[in-house]
Structure 1
Amino acid sequence: MMKNTILILLFIFGLFACEDNDSYFDASIPQENVRFKAIPGGAVMHYTLPENTDIFAVKAEYEDYKGKKMIKIASYAYDSLVLDGFNEARNNVPVRVSLLNQSNEASKAMEFTFNTQDSGPVAFFNDIEVLPYWDGFQVKYKVPGAATGLCNVFFIGTNPMTRELDTLLLETFAIEAGENVKYFSLAQKRDVNTVVVKTEDFRGNVAMQKVYEGVASYNVGKLDPSNFEWLDPFSLSVENDNQGFMVGWKYLFDGDVKGSRKLAFQESWGTAMPPANMYSFVTVPYAVNKPDAPKYFILDIKEPKQVSSIRMYGMLNLNSLTKPSVFVTCYGTMLPNEVTIYASNNKDDNTSWVKVGNFYQSLTAAVPWIQRAGDVDGSTKIKTTSELEAVEPCYLTVNFSVDNPPYRYFKVEFNSVFKEIPNQYYKNTTERVTLHEVEVYGK
């Protein structure tokens, strides 16, 4: 018993001895020299340091929204410090502020409180709409001021692995300031969808999640092209159905999106050199639209339809891609990189045309949509029908708004072609335009 008492006394004396040896940095900041400004996800602490040459840094200690201890340190050379780690807005968050010298000795801490604003991942939900879209839905959001964090968009669909309903991730994207919209067309078509939107900060912490049920889907399909017409008011289309050519606008709607007819014709000749039949569409020189020399085509789908998109295909890179003289040597240089489309229900009324869609891709794009088109990349050569059947077609898509009314006529302007392709000697200096197929999607 006596032994235990002595041990306890020694322990107590040791504690007092430790306290007596503790050293403190003798410095402080006047209360009026510290102020806080609420920002999304935290606050900025502004401070003015006293004229003490021994002050090396400022330290702030507080707890984030999860109760995790946060320590922020800033050099004496600065006059502010960001206190982050919050999602939903909070008031009167306690913070202890102290000064450090070069020996890392701290002054006596002073206590303050600060307020925060909703972080970007939380403010994201203050102005968001999940609305119908073609074969899916769209997410519209508006974030004022600075934006931070990530957004994850899911839908309730069939898991391809388990064949059961599951929450499936569609996209994770960084939240951007201003008004933005994300479009999601789903391979799994349903009349209505359940959408889950979840945001998180850059530390991976979930900020907020909301579920949107009963979001209608405007399901669309390819429209029957059997009666379509490609009107040519400037006589730009080369029309020649003789052997060695087989070109004209009618081939835009024959259902061949890859070049199957040309390859089958070439194979039917065996080892002999076949005529250069193309079964495709091509223009005369200088068919590109210019501000001082307008040129366009008009697609007539024969009755007003609510159109969701128009696809324009290029012929794939067939081996021994023989071409008639109306084509330039490098096929890919004739494909468009910029297309503008207008719509109307009265093609003869110039005031009735409404711009409904545009496609643009930089001439220096790392992977252009024409990457697998004819003559572009030697590594994509297709030699047999079986190889052709195994690959996907290449095409550009001009998308239209779900808010558009039904239209019958679509004015198509080719504003630019690829013209020149890296590592290809031949250029399309005369600005001919080609397409292999056109498909219209809608309902």
Structure 2
Amino acid sequence: MMKNNILLLLLLICGLFACKDDETFFDVSIPRENIRFKPIPGGAVMYYSLPEFTDIFAVRAEYNDYKGKKMVKIASYAYDSLVLDGFNEARNEVPVRISLLNQSNEASKSVEMTFNTENSGPVAFFENIEVLPYWDGFQVKYDVPGAATGLCNVFFIGMNPMTQELDTLLVETFAIESGKNVKYFPLAQRRESNTVVLKTEDFRGNVAMQKIYEGIASYNVERLDPSEFEWIDPFHLSQENDNNGSMLGWKYLFDGDVKGVRKLKFQESYGQNPPANMYTFIAGPFAVNTVESPKYFILDIKESKQVSSIRMYAMLNLNSMTKPYVFNYFYGNKLPNWVTIYASNDKDDPDSWVEVGNFYQSPTAAVPWIQKAGDIDPNSRVKTMEELEAADPCYLTVNFSEKNPSYRYFKIEFNGVFKDKDSYWKNPTEYVTLHEVEVYGK
């Protein structure tokens, strides 16, 4: 009798467990017609509509990426789509197994389907690309439609400084951006032409594609000799004063002093309380160009040249920035923040001027180009000739297109200055100063 009772109890317990197993078995599936795929760069988006089943917790998709690595993607029941990525070149009929999960992570029977992909960003990068000549190097123009991902590594064939042999040298790595873009790559090693290597990779570090571009011409440039340059001043704004205590005039724009060497040397040789000789250029009052009162200067380089850029320098922050009264005791707020340049081969023909370059920087920029210029930052003060020789110059650059023809005349408009840079010695009468001008050309 006891033996029969024990047997009955065991059967009852097994029955209870069987009931429990039946209750937790995840017997549900997603109809194929509830799933669709949309190809995207580097993969596809799986859109789905879940059946009305309260225990569905997530959707799982299993497939292999382009390298054959198993990929498992899971999305919450609260969403209606899942991104299936991991591909570079476009592929068709990629197998995928789709199942549902409950809160116990138990899976339903899987549905097998396929999806197509589009070229990823690192591959699409090469679909619409040009590697073209540029000043002292080359440029890369590309157009990536849609969402862009991945990196581009830019190399050129040059002399390895360590081995003194030709090698593939990295220039830059940049993130690929969607839309039309252009990147410029000036090279320190100058050649008549360059071999450029572009290698793209995804954000997992996998190489997507590589292409080699040979014979890319380099438009090598150099600083043009300024000895014959002329600064034409149609509105008579330039302060011309070669008396001791001033030394002002446009000729100082082309004397080769890009930092303020002449002023500091004069101070050191004179001793205490030297005159405020500047050896620099200043124009005004009201030398800033406006719609109501147009103002400009014309730079005549004396012969037509294909110009790549014009640099405009500021005097560095010297130990003793004593200045003649025309500077109103503050130097930096007379430096330009906005410059527009036009070019022509006939300065007397008003219809011949073509805009070739523009520079703009906000007057409130956190680190303006004038940061190391006179009176701006006391921490940048240069006290000795040795310090001055070691210091980097301070300048803005207006770059020109490599497609421009040769020009002789350049009309320069100063459309704005950092006139409020000092809280006390402001520049309400809009004087404009520059310390040196350099022209670079092919």
2:52 match: 51
Q: Report 1:263-412 matches (<5 A).
A: 263-270=264-271, 272-412=272-412
Deviations 1:355-383 (A, max 9, x none): 10111112232322111111111111111
Q: Distance in 1 between matches of 2:292 and 2:65?
A: 62
Asked whether the equivalents of residues 305 and 407 of structure 1 are also in contact (C-alpha less than 8 Å), the reply is: yes
User: What SS is found at the alignment partner of 2:122?
Assistant: helix
2:233 match: 232
Deviations 1:232-279 (A, max 9, x none): 111111111111110011100000000000011111112x21110100
Q: Distance in 2 between matches of 1:164 and 1:337?
A: 44
1:434 match: 433
Q: Distance in 1 between matches of 2:223 and 2:144?
A: 36
Q: Distance in 1 between matches of 2:52 and 2:275?
A: 90
User: What SS is found at the alignment partner of 2:325?
Assistant: coil
How far off its partner does 1:230 sit? Answer: 0.7
The reply to whether residue 219 of structure 1 matches residue 217 of structure 2 is no
How far off its partner does 1:163 sit? Answer: 2.7
* TM-score normalized with structure 2 length: 0.93
Asked whether the equivalents of residues 343 and 354 of structure 2 are also in contact (C-alpha less than 8 Å), the reply is: yes
| Number of residue pairs the alignment of both structures matches | 422
**Identical-pair percentage:** 77
Asked whether the equivalents of residues 194 and 212 of structure 1 are also in contact (C-alpha less than 8 Å), the reply is: yes
- What 5-or-longer segments of structure 1 have no aligned partner? 1-19
Matching residue's letter, 1:263? L
Matching residue's letter, 1:146? A
1:13 match: none
2:204 match: 203
Q: Distance in 1 between matches of 2:105 and 2:163?
A: 57
Between 55-64 and 286-295, report the one with greater CA deviation. Answer: 286-295
- What 5-or-longer segments of structure 2 have no aligned partner? 1-20
The reply to whether residue 116 of structure 1 matches residue 117 of structure 2 is yes
Q: Distance in 1 between matches of 2:200 and 2:365?
A: 31
How far off its partner does 1:201 sit? Answer: 1.2
Asked whether the equivalents of residues 24 and 108 of structure 1 are also in contact (C-alpha less than 8 Å), the reply is: no
How far off its partner does 1:284 sit? Answer: 1.2
2:145 match: 144
Deviations 1:112-166 (A, max 9, x none): 1000000011000001111111111111111122211111111112223333322
Matching residue's letter, 1:397? T
Matching residue's letter, 2:126? F
Between 82-91 and 284-293, report the one with greater CA deviation. Answer: 284-293
User: What SS is found at the alignment partner of 2:286?
Assistant: coil
Matching residue's letter, 2:42? G
Deviations 1:200-231 (A, max 9, x none): 11222111111111111011101111111111
Asked whether the equivalents of residues 248 and 280 of structure 1 are also in contact (C-alpha less than 8 Å), the reply is: yes
Matching residue's letter, 1:403? K
Asked whether the equivalents of residues 322 and 329 of structure 2 are also in contact (C-alpha less than 8 Å), the reply is: no
Deviations 1:165-220 (A, max 9, x none): 22222111111111111111111111111111111112221111111111110111
2:30 match: 29
Q: Distance in 1 between matches of 2:328 and 2:365?
A: 22
User: What SS is found at the alignment partner of 1:266?
Assistant: helix
Q: Distance in 1 between matches of 2:337 and 2:132?
A: 30
2:168 match: 167
Q: Distance in 2 between matches of 1:173 and 1:338?
A: 29
User: What SS is found at the alignment partner of 1:300?
Assistant: strand
How far off its partner does 1:24 sit? Answer: 4.7
Between 355-364 and 87-96, report the one with greater CA deviation. Answer: 355-364
How far off its partner does 1:392 sit? Answer: 1.3
Q: Distance in 1 between matches of 2:110 and 2:328?
A: 78
User: What SS is found at the alignment partner of 1:126?
Assistant: coil
Aligned-pair RMSD on alpha carbons? 1.5
Q: Distance in 2 between matches of 1:127 and 1:315?
A: 45
User: In the superposition, relative to structure 1, how do residues 110 and 276 fare at CA in structure 2: closer, same or farther (>3 Å)?
Assistant: same
Matching residue's letter, 1:437? E
User: What SS is found at the alignment partner of 1:196?
Assistant: strand
